[in-house]
Amino acid sequence: MQPLLRPTSLAWAALACCLFVGCGSYSFLGDSRPYTGSMSNTTTHNGEVHRIVAWGDGGHGYRFEWKGSSAPELSADDTQILPLDEGEFIVAEYEGSDDLRRVELRPDAARAYFVDGVEQAYEPEGARWVAEVIPVLIDRLGFGASSRVPRILESDGVDGVLADIDKRSSDMARSEYYEVLLASPQLVVGEVTRVIEHASERVDSDAHLADLLEEVADSAELSGPVMTPYLEALASIDSDAHASDILEELVSDKTLADGEVARVLSEAVPRVSSDAHLSDILEEVHPDRLTDPTLRAAFVDALDGISSDAHAADVLEGQLDSARSPQVVASLLQAAAHGISSDAHMADVLEHCPASSVKDPSVADALRSAYATIASSSHREDVRERFPVGTFSE
């Protein structure tokens, strides 16, 4: 059996907050009518995942519960669930207007089947009912993706997997399949780009698409042809929170070339409208990266998109604290002079300028220009105390 936490854990974890609504205690059996609505609850403890999912339309209700450390797998014909490992279990329930069915699957092929609360022989009726329920679980939850995707990929290639994904009815199910497919080592660059493009057109949920893009960043080389569809998919995420989580990882990724980070800063970061999220992203850029002129220009342009002096100052202070290149220090000071209007925040930023860097003429000029924007005499005095006598003309 495949490890649960790779590669499908992100889609499963997102289930609790994205595909369904609500969580917590849930009573399914015993209701006077089939359940209407949807819910899920997922907990993880010591590597084991315990998941409960339920949904219904008032005429038909389903409940699926599973606990284990490995993703459940299906038989080659998708009609049976393969035996579980020690400590794992699966419970599947169906409730119609006049029909109540339940199956319990446990290790060592221990299986029980109930109709209207009364246990029946598992063979042949229980096995037949499981075979009827499995397509529902595949369609709604992406159940069995860890076994189905490699099988389809081997027989029908990437096109076959994408065609199967097109049949799924939920973002949760589609995301499960995309993540397993993208984790397949035999995919070449062209196939990776096709999968990303396919996903960006079919996954509506920001959370699921963000999880998928994080998986891509972890498993694929984001350069050249892959980066283009990746950034286009990222641009389709409306949520600043989800987009910024991905962008923070990208700009801090040491494996990405400076040119690729510069591209992220110039193409993707400006789409983030929140000052708080934008500052979080820029704070993840290592100061040493800013020695690259193209990346530095993209960074300054992105910084200019922050309207809050407080957030802009936070970014500049953090960068100045670690900056070692005079060119970088001068550029940051110029950005401060251009973008910060508050005397207090400007003084705070200038106090983070390395005093030793003032020996460089470009840094000294930039420092004086930024200092000249401060109107308050008290803030001017605070800044002067930080630097050698004679740094400023007054």
All structural domains of the chain with their residue ranges: 9-143, 308-394
Q: What is the pLDDT of residues 147-196, one digit of tens each?
A: 999 999 999 999 999 999 999 999 989 999 999 999 898 999 999 999 99
H runs (alpha helix) in 114-170? 127-141, 145-166
Signed CA dihedral, 368, 373, 377, 383: sign only: negative
Residues in CB range of 327: below 8 A, 6 or more apart: 291, 296, 362
Alpha-carbon span 207 to 202, nearest angstrom: 13
pLDDT > 60? residue 18: no
Signed CA dihedral, 170, 171, 173, 178: sign only: positive
The rounded mean pLDDT for the chain is 88
State what percent of residues in the chain have pLDDT above 90. Answer: 71
pLDDT > 70? residue 9: no
Nearest alpha carbon to residue 186 among 213, 145, 220:
220
- Please report which confidence band the pLDDT of residue 23 belongs to, taking 50, 70 and 90 as the band edges: very low
Cis bond leading into 124, ω under 30°?
yes
Q: What is the pLDDT of residue 253?
A: 92
Alpha-carbon span 182 to 171, nearest angstrom: 16
Signed CA dihedral, 70, 75, 80, 84: sign only: negative
- Contact predicate 315/285, CB 8 Å: no
pLDDT > 80? residue 266: yes
Q: What is the pLDDT of residue 38?
A: 78
- Contact predicate 166/203, CB 8 Å: no
Q: What is the pLDDT of residue 212?
A: 93
pLDDT > 70? residue 32: no
- Contact predicate 165/177, CB 8 Å: yes
DSSP class per residue in 277-296:
HHHHHHHTS-GGGGGSHHHH
Residue given tokens 């998919």 in the structure block: 233
- In angstroms, how far is CA 392 from the centroid of its own chain? 48
Higher pLDDT, 37 or 301: 301
Tokens encoding 332? 């940051």
Rg (CA), the chain: 28
Cis bond leading into 3, ω under 30°?
no
pTM for this predicted structure: 0.79
Q: What is the pLDDT of residue 36?
A: 63
Q: What is the pLDDT of residue 368?
A: 96
Signed CA dihedral, 308, 309, 310, 315: sign only: positive
Taking the CA atoms of residue 5, residue 50, residue 69 and residue 108 in that order, the dihedral angle to the nearest 10 degrees is: -150
pLDDT > 80? residue 43: yes
Alpha-carbon span 63 to 84, nearest angstrom: 19
Within 10 angstroms of residue 198's Cβ, the number of other Cβ atoms is 20
- Please report which confidence band the pLDDT of residue 1 belongs to, taking 50, 70 and 90 as the band edges: very low
Tokens encoding 240? 């600043």
Tokens encoding 370? 């930024």
User: Which helix (H) or strand (E) covers residue 104, if one does?
Assistant: strand 100-106
Q: What is the pLDDT of residue 27?
A: 38
Q: What is the pLDDT of residue 221?
A: 78
Q: What is the mean pLDDT of residues 8-15?
A: 40
- Length of the chain in residues, anyone? 394
- Contact predicate 11/208, CB 8 Å: yes
DSSP class per residue in 20-56:
S---S----TT-SS--EEEEEEEEEETTEEEEEEEEE
Q: What is the pLDDT of residue 200?
A: 95
State what percent of residues in the chain have pLDDT above 70. Answer: 90
Q: What is the pLDDT of residue 159?
A: 97
Signed CA dihedral, 277, 256, 226, 144: sign only: negative
Alpha-carbon span 353 to 326, nearest angstrom: 11
Alpha-carbon span 195 to 203, nearest angstrom: 12
- Please report which confidence band the pLDDT of residue 249 belongs to, taking 50, 70 and 90 as the band edges: very high
